[in-house]
Amino acid sequence: MKLGNMKNADSSFQIIHGAQDKTILGITDNHQLSHQHFVFIKNKIFLQDWLSKESNIGSTGLVIEKSYFESLTAELNYEIS
C-alpha cells in the first residue's frame, strides 16, 4: 500500500513528514522492526523504546497518537523559545 492511501483506511490519518508514494508493507512493533513497516507510538515509553533500537529504524515509519504528537510539538516549541 502507498502511504498516501492510508487516508482511505482512516480519514483521520495525516502525513506530517514523508513521501505520499512511499510503499508500506505492513505494521510491526518495537520488537520486530521491519523495513517499510510502521509502528504505533502512543506515549513517551514507546518512543524511547523505538529510539533505543540499534537496528535500522530509519526505514520504519511512525504512527504517533495525535494527542501525544501535539504534546511533543508543544514541548519542542517551549525548548526552542
Question: Tell me, what's the pLDDT at 50?
Answer: 84
Report whether pLDDT(59) > 80: no
Question: Tell me, what's the pLDDT at 80?
Answer: 52
Gap between the Cα atoms of 47 and 30, Å rounded: 9
Report the run of H or E that residue 53 belongs to, with start and end: none
Dump pLDDT digits (tens) for 12-58.
Answer: 888 887 778 888 898 888 888 888 888 888 888 988 888 887 666 66
Gap between the Cα atoms of 69 and 34, Å rounded: 23
How much is the pTM? 0.67
Question: Residue 79: pLDDT band by 50, 70, 90 thresholds?
Answer: low
